[in-house]
């Protein structure tokens, strides 16, 4: 996520309210994402694959798993604040871009949403 920053930067105040998913490759935790649900709307945060394991399809598997999980839980919407340089990753799954943007920790973000069937 932020490999050059202190580990505490990825901790969230409401981490205990989240559902945390991981993907393993060769028995090693290789990717993570945290889901927070309110009123049948899910927000995922801290989605990251280890740098050396990126672009091998693991992020896609993890994203598909979370979307399926949201459908089984009968959520209506899933959203995230996407890094602008990763937004095409999300459009592949049907996420659409909103006009809500901001900058933090040196990255530009845009809110992206997916309606769940
Ligand atoms: C973004 C991230 C989670 C994607 O995971 P990944 O395992 O590298 O992605 P995958 O290999 O599963 O890629 C799936 C598809 O998305 C594409 N893709 C991957 N990263 C992309 C990016 N940053 N921008 C656009 N497309 C991307 C791949 O080319 C692939 O396309 P294809 O199916 O047409 O071949 C990962 O690169 C990462 O952890 N990046 C650093 C942290 C970060 O940016 N997290 C997201 C915060 S919003």
The confidence score (pLDDT) of residue 60 equals: 98
* pLDDT tens-digit map of 7-46: 777 878 888 899 999 999 999 999 999 999 999 999 999 9
List CB contacts of 60: < 8 A, sequence separation 6 or more.
92
CA-nearest residue, atom 43 of ligand 1: 48
CA–centroid distance, residue 57 to ligand 1 (Å): 8
CA-nearest residue, atom 45 of ligand 1: 48
Across all residues in the chain, what is the average pLDDT?
A: 94
| Separation of alpha carbons 47 and 63, rounded Å | 9
* pLDDT tens-digit map of 53-82: 999 999 999 999 999 999 999 999 999 999
Q: Among 86, 103, 105, which is best to mutate for testing ligand 1, by the most ligand atoms less than 8 A from CB?
A: 86
């Amino acid at each position: 996520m932020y490999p050059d920053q202190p580990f505490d930067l990825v901790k969230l105040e409401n981490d205990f309210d989240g559902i945390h998913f991981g993907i393993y490759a060769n028995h090693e935790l290789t990717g993570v994402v945290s889901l927070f649900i309110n009123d049948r709307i899910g927000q995922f945060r801290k989605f990251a694959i280890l740098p050396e394991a990126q672009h091998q399809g693991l992020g896609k598997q993890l994203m598909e798993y979370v979307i399926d999980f949201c459908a089984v839980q009968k959520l209506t919407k899933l959203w995230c604040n996407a890094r602008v340089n990763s937004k095409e990753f999300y459009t592949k799954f049907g996420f659409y871009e909103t006009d809500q943007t901001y900058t933090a920790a040196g990255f530009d973000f845009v809110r992206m949403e997916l309606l769940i069937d």
